[in-house]
Amino acid sequence: MCSWCPWYKFCRGCKIDCNDTDFSFSSLYLSIDWDPTALHLRYQASQERVYVDHPSVERTRQQKAEPISVHDCLEAFTKEEHLGEDEKYYCSHCKQHQLALKKLQIYRLPPIMIIHLKRFQLLNGKWVKSQKIVRFPFVDFDPTDYLSPVPRKAAISFKCQQRSRSQQQQQQGLPTATDATAGRRNHASQCSTANGSSSQNDPCAWSPSPSSVVPVVNGDVCHDPHAGGDTVQDHHQHRLHPGYHPLDLKYQMYALACHSGILGGGHYVSYACNPNNRWYCYNDSSCKEVKVEQIDSDSAYMLCQGH
CB atoms within 10 A of CB 177: 18
What does the alpha-carbon distance between residue 151 and residue 158 come to, in Å, rounded to a whole number?
11
Between the ranges 88-97, 183-192, 241-250, where is the mean pLDDT highest? 88-97
**100-102 and 120-123 beta bridge pairing:** unpaired
**286-290 and 300-306 beta bridge pairing:** unpaired
What does the alpha-carbon distance between residue 293 and residue 61 come to, in Å, rounded to a whole number?
28
Percent of the chain with pLDDT over 70: 74
306 secondary structure, DSSP code: E
More confident residue, 181 or 123: 123
- Per-residue pLDDT of 148-162, as tens digits, reads 877 777 777 777 777
- Per-residue pLDDT of 275-291, as tens digits, reads 898 999 999 888 999 99
What does the alpha-carbon distance between residue 230 and residue 39 come to, in Å, rounded to a whole number?
86
Q: pTM here?
A: 0.58
Instruction: Give the up-direction half-sphere exposure of residue 169: CA atoms within 13 A in the CB hemisphere.
Output: 14
C-alpha dihedral over 63, 69, 75, 78, to 10 degrees? 120
CB atoms within 10 A of CB 253: 23
- Per-residue pLDDT of 210-239, as tens digits, reads 444 334 333 333 344 333 444 555 555 666
What does the alpha-carbon distance between residue 108 and residue 75 come to, in Å, rounded to a whole number?
17
